[in-house]
Amino acid sequence: MVTSFELMSRQILSLVFKHIPDTRDPLDRVYPWYALIEFSSGRAGALRDMVETLLANAMEAQELADAVIAENETQARAFWRIRHSMSEAMRPEGGQAKYDVSVPIASAPAFLKEADAAVMRACPGARIIAFGHMGDGNIHYDVLQPAGGDAAAFAAAQSSIETAVYDAIDRFEGSISAEHGVGLARRADIARRKAPAEIAMMRAVKRALDPQGLMNPGKMI
């Protein structure tokens, strides 16, 4: 059984290998996209054969270019360290605009293509970092300032960047809030982009679960 399916772009991996010590590309060639997949099985000894068969079938169908399997816990932790170091690797790169969004899984490739194009129009030279939990369509869509660019100019463009990302989300019937919720930062955004009936339903659920407003007061959940 697949327990985790993480999609990562080459651009974010390059930043990890640049800024995070003792990390390296587990593959011999460079690819535009990588998937980190974790499997579990209740049948002793069956997992390795199952995974090898799955990968072989994917390669034969040209759905997969290359793969490597962790041979032990140390290698598995090294793979996951790459994934868990992504936010840290972005910090030295300057200004960031970060979005936690979701789209139907089948729409993810088209959303990324359309959102990328719109963001580049809003901020030429911006570096788009996309990664996430593709098993449920949750994408961390982060935009970094152009390499060597001006932080103030990037900050001024963030409103246009946000509009580009959110408009693409709307076209693919996704959500501007995914695993991290709405909280405080997205309250105004969600109010502008949800229909009144949807907002009313959210409030009704909130009242039913938390009639006294004790859970995360002031935040949307």
The average pLDDT across 115-134 equals: 93
Q: Read off the pTM.
A: 0.79
**Domain of residue 74, CATH code:** 3.30.70.2190
138 and 75 in a common domain? no
* Number of domains, the chain: 2
Percent of the chain whose pLDDT exceeds 70? 89
What would the pLDDT profile of 13-52 be if each residue is shown by its tens digit? 999 999 999 999 999 999 999 999 998 877 756 788 888 9
pLDDT of residue 121: 96
Answer yes or no: is 207 within a domain: no
Average pLDDT over the chain, rounded to an integer: 88
Q: SS3 letters for the chain?
A: CEEEEEEEEHHHHHHHHHHCCCCCCCCCCCCCEEEEEEECCCCCCCHHHHHHHHHHHHHHCCCCCCCCCCCCHHHHHHHHHHHHCHHHHHHHHCCEEEEEEECCHHHHHHHHHHHHHHHHHHCCCCEEEEEEECCCCEEEEEEECCCCCCHHHHHHHHHHHHHHHHHHHHHCCCECCCCCCCECCCHHHHHHHCCHHHHHHHHHHHHHHCCCCCCCCCCEC
- Residue predicted with more confidence, 212 or 168: 168
118 and 51 in a common domain? no
32 and 68 in a common domain? yes
Identify the domain containing residue 15 by its residue range: 2-87
| pLDDT > 70? residue 221 | no
